[in-house]
Amino acid sequence: MTAAIYVDDVYKAFGKPDAERRLHLPWRAPASNGHSNGKNGHKPTVVAVDHVSFAVQPGEIFGVLGPNGSGKSTLIRLLSTLLLPDSGQIRIFGHDVDQEAMEVQRLINRVSVEASFFKKLSPMENLLYGARLYGLDGRETRAQVVVILTRLGLEDRAIRNPMEQMSRGMQQKVAIARALLSRPRILLLDEPTTGLDPRSKREVQAVVRELQQKEGTTILLTTHDMTEAENLCDRIAIMDRGKVVALDTPPNLRALVPGSNGTQPTLEDVFLELTGRQLVTEEE
């Protein structure tokens, strides 16, 4: 079976000299500390994704758990063709993200925490505009927009009011609805519930489960919410400083750490044991 997502020894750093980037010249990876000294006028090189490998099977919900700055969002941008790896290979249902970017873009959609909209327009107007970009039928899409947004907890009045009147959490729901319109085979969710209240989080998580169970959608979810990762994901990769330090099912990850005082270890305990530091949740 062809993997939905195949990531092989992918490396991505920032601060690479512009001339080398334009000409695609080979360059040497930085020393193990992940930073160059910035001599000769070059920007310090910061390693965002450090030789990462994994495969996601069709229909799987795959979580990437880690603190801000661990490389999660860069990984999402690499998978969605917004960035290209410096080395290694990424394939989406067999298509190379570098050589076959258009084919990849037809298979995926992405929801990020910084989703943008025409704020003077309503959710309905924003989604209908997005539907035209996908070549979708306007009349059929209008009905689908109402169904999706209602399922995400938006009232009829909110669907037709300007986006600028909505909370950040409500706007995030509209971003998820926009991604669902194209019925992607792979949905990339970059911290999709950040800023949502507990009820909205549950509604979004219910839609994610429904997409997997009823549509067979493959979902890659980045988060620093351990409860969300454990409740939703079939498998979880724990990232720290650009590296995958562990990858397994939630129960198997917890089994890496012995419990204490009769309590079961949490994913945070696992992360602390593997990295020596806490999972932070401050905004970047």
Identify the pLDDT of residue 238: 93
For residue 136, name the pLDDT band (cuts at 50, 70, 90). Answer: confident
Q: What per-residue confidence (pLDDT) applies to 188? A: 95
The reported pLDDT for the residue numbered 132 is 80
Q: Which residue has the higher pLDDT, 283 or 157?
A: 157
Per-residue pLDDT at 63: 96
The predicted pLDDT at position 235 comes to: 97
Please indicate, yes or no, whether the overall pTM of this predicted structure exceeds 0.85: no
> What pLDDT is attached to residue 42?
56
- The kind and range of the H/E element at 86 are none
Looking at the chain, the whole-number percentage of residues with pLDDT higher than 70 is: 86
pLDDT band (50, 70, 90) for residue 18: very low
Instruction: Identify the pLDDT of residue 88.
Output: 96
* SS3 category, 191: coil
The answer on pLDDT for 232 being more than 50 is: yes
pLDDT at 43: 60
Mapped onto helix, strand or coil, the DSSP state of residue 254 is helix
Which is more confidently placed, 98 or 135?
98
Query: Which amino acid is located at 270 in the chain?
Result: V
Q: Look at strands 186-190 and 108-111 and give their pairing.
A: parallel
| Domains, the chain, ordered by start | 5-275 (3.40.50.300)
Q: What pLDDT is stored for residue 187 in this prediction?
A: 94
In this predicted model, what pLDDT tens digit does every residue of 167-196 receive, in sequence order? 777 788 888 888 888 889 999 999 888 777
Query: What pLDDT score was predicted for residue 146?
Result: 86
**Residues 139-162 pLDDT 10s:** 778 888 888 888 877 888 888 889
CA separation for the pair 124, 131 (Å, rounded): 10
* pLDDT tens digits, one per residue of 62-87: 999 988 888 998 999 999 999 999 99
- Do 230 and 224 touch, CB atoms closer than 8 A? no
Contact indicator for 271, 256 with CB cutoff of 8 Å? no
Q: What is the pLDDT of residues 251-275, one digit of tens each?
A: 999 988 887 777 888 888 888 888 8
Instruction: Give pLDDT tens digits for 30-72.
Output: 444 444 455 555 566 889 999 999 999 999 999 999 888 889 9
Whether 244 and 54 have beta carbons less than 8 Å apart is answered as yes
Average pLDDT, the chain: 83
Q: How would you list the strands of the sheet with 61-65, edge to edge?
A: 108-111, 186-190, 218-223, 61-65, 235-240, 243-248
246 has pLDDT over 60: yes
The predicted pLDDT at position 169 comes to 74
Model pLDDT, residue 30? 46
